[in-house]
Amino acid sequence: MKTLVYTSPASAGHKPPEGHPERPERLGAVERAIRSVDGLATAEPRQATREELARVHTRRHIESIFETGPSDGLASIDADTWMSPGSLEAALAACGAAVEGVDKVVAGEAEAVFVACRPPGHHAEPERAMGFCLFNQIAVAAAHGFAGHGMTRIALVDFDVHHGNGTQAYAEREDRLFFASIHQGWIYPGTGSNADQADNIVNVAVERATGSKAWREALEEKIFSRIPDLRADLLLVSAGFDGHRDDPLAGLDLTEEDYAWAGERLGALAKEHAHARLVCTLEGGYDIDALEKSLTGFLRAIAAA
């Protein structure tokens, strides 16, 4: 697939407190992964507008984030979620990249887009920031597909080790979006049980220590098998690499080879069942070496699909 990666200097300006897992050093792993894959095009995004954010988030939430961003020092939203002077610009760039990514695949200028920006977004709910996330860029991308391009069906797969509660909250009010999440059960944020299902929502909560075979089978049987019948205009992916066995925040037993496999399968599904339109955003992945290896395999597999 013709693959475009968005990066932004603004991503480095989001600086939570010392020792926070979602640290700027993650960008070094991301940049090394991008450089190691041949044939990737790169670009810098614009910032998302308030109007684009308001397709997902309430005006009150948007203004709160704009007002909370400090001119110096740090501002705490909750125990996990912080803003530094550069955080607002970083979050707006991440959302802008997701919006532009949709435009690029619709125009045929790319078949796959990876948004290599931070902070992550899938925990951000329409009315609040949480879980390291300020705005929900993958939901903003979906909303842009509907409002900006007249799409009638979008499929969204979230394989971050934590449930994408914020994205599900958007899907609960937008039935044109099919949202499917595979994640470790009973860890943060405590949502997404196997009983939490709807016509357009699939949650697959796996046990601690789940490894390659069971994880791949669950994805194939419970999520990927649903994609062909959707006839989606676009395939979106919340790509979190924190299910790796070396990640400090969870307990799955995945390897970088599993993420390469996921990239291969998602690329094939997008080509066959979503008009060769695939847009992915970076979510978790907090062990630096594991993130670099996992993202390298994922990007290489998509580019080769």
Q: Which amino acid makes up residue 96?
A: G
What are the structure tokens assigned to 90, written together? Answer: 């970083």
Contact 181, 202 (CB under 8 A): yes
- The per-residue b/e assignment along 216-237, b for 16 or more CB within 10 angstroms, e otherwise, is bebbeeebbeebeebebbbbbb
- What DSSP string describes 172-189? TT-TTEEEEEEEETTSTT
Which residues lie across from 133 on neighbouring strands? Answer: 130
CA neighbor of 243 nearest in space, from 264, 216, 267: 216
| Active-site residue, 123 included | yes
Contact 156, 51 (CB under 8 A): no
Phi, psi for residue 215 in degrees, rounded to 5 = -65, -45
Phi, psi for residue 138 in degrees, rounded to 5 = -70, -35
Contact 41, 80 (CB under 8 A): no
Contact 83, 77 (CB under 8 A): yes
Residue 94: other Cβ atoms inside 10 A: 33
3 state SS of 49: coil
> Pairing relation of β-strands 201-206 and 154-158?
unpaired
Contact 144, 55 (CB under 8 A): yes
- What DSSP string describes 220-236? IIIIGGGHHHH--SEEE
3 state SS of 20: coil
Q: 14, 57, 61, 123: which is the annotated catalytic residue?
A: 123
User: Annotated active-site positions, please?
Assistant: 123
